Amino acid sequence: MSKSKIRKSINRKFNLGNFQNLDIFVEVEEEIEYKNSSQYVEKANDLTKRLILDFINSAQKAFDEMNLQQKIATVSGGDTLNSEKQSDKKINNKDNKKSDKGNQENSNPLDSLNEDFDEIDF
């Protein structure tokens, strides 16, 4: 049986507007034992899932406790920088459709992440 130490981290800067930012940094380190490379990958992937969930929970708590919302950058005309142009929408088909998650002004940036990780089994 082999042993390895794995360390992973997520660091993200949230724009709060008025030249204010919130940096959230989450790191995990764990020593794992494994028999083969597939078991190593499985345990590393599990650690990644736990890291992401920890990041989401930490960021959500920070936003809730400080009563904060992320501000979406806009260009002249009021469109968000992430929104699609009308011509782009005509080109995209249903298999290549872009998501509108997180494109709403003053939306919580963690809502789309929570949806992706609601049903993770450990």
Q: What is the DSSP letter of 84?
A: P
Q: Encode the chain (122 residues) as per-residue pLDDT tens digits.
A: 999 999 999 999 988 888 888 899 999 999 999 999 999 999 999 999 999 999 999 999 999 998 887 666 556 555 555 544 444 444 444 444 444 444 444 556 566 555 555 555 54
What tokens were used for 40? Answer: 């190593």
Boundaries of every domain in the chain: 1-71
Provide the H-helix boundaries in 78-117. 86-91, 111-116
- The amino acid present at 94, given as its one-letter code, is K
CA 91 to chain centre: 27
CA-based torsion, 44, 48, 49, 50: positive or negative: positive
The count of C-alpha atoms lying within 13 angstroms of the C-alpha of 113, restricted to the half-sphere facing its C-beta, is 15
Give SS3 for 94.
Answer: helix
Beta bridge partners of 21: 15
What does the alpha-carbon distance between residue 52 and residue 18 come to, in Å, rounded to a whole number? 28
Distance of CA 56 to the CA centre of its chain: 7
Predicted model pTM: 0.58
